[in-house]
Amino acid sequence: MAIPINGNMLAAVRQQRRLSQQELADRRKIGIATIKRIERTKGTSSYRVHTADCLAKALEVQVEDLSEDRFLRVIDLGSDVEFHLDRIVDVDKLRLFQDWVIKMTESRNRILKD
């Protein structure tokens, strides 16, 4: 049985996790050549279930998260807060939400200082 993996998605999640290809390979003893081949594909191709499972576990995501280009971009706000944005995004609402999260984080930090 084969599982689809999107090379762009694998690269995006790996980079978001701040892992090199070698570090990802070392996490689950996956060949670095396999990771390079998948990421070089850029589109979606089918791979063994074992490979997909290992990659997903190493990246701490679901296998389905690697099978399609779900996220257009990941925004890191610091303090372990990240936004995963898909293709349909109301930018104005995103900015309002981002401002709200920043204000809440600042309030939380002031409370924790006192």
Q: Is the pLDDT of residue 100 over 50?
A: yes
Average pLDDT of the chain is: 81
Residue % of the chain over a pLDDT of 70: 77
- At 48-94, the pLDDT tens digits run 999 999 999 999 888 888 886 555 556 666 666 666 665 445 667 77
Instruction: Confirm whether pTM is higher than 0.85.
Output: no
2-66 is a CATH 2.40.400.10 domain: no
pLDDT score at 88: 47
**Taking 50 as the threshold, does the pLDDT of residue 107 lie above it?**
yes
Residue 48 makes CB contacts below 8 A (sequence gap 6+) with 2, 3
For helices 21-28 and 49-59, give the axis angle rounded to 10 degrees.
110
pLDDT (tens digit per residue) in 2-58: 888 988 889 988 988 889 999 999 998 899 999 999 999 877 888 899 999 999 999
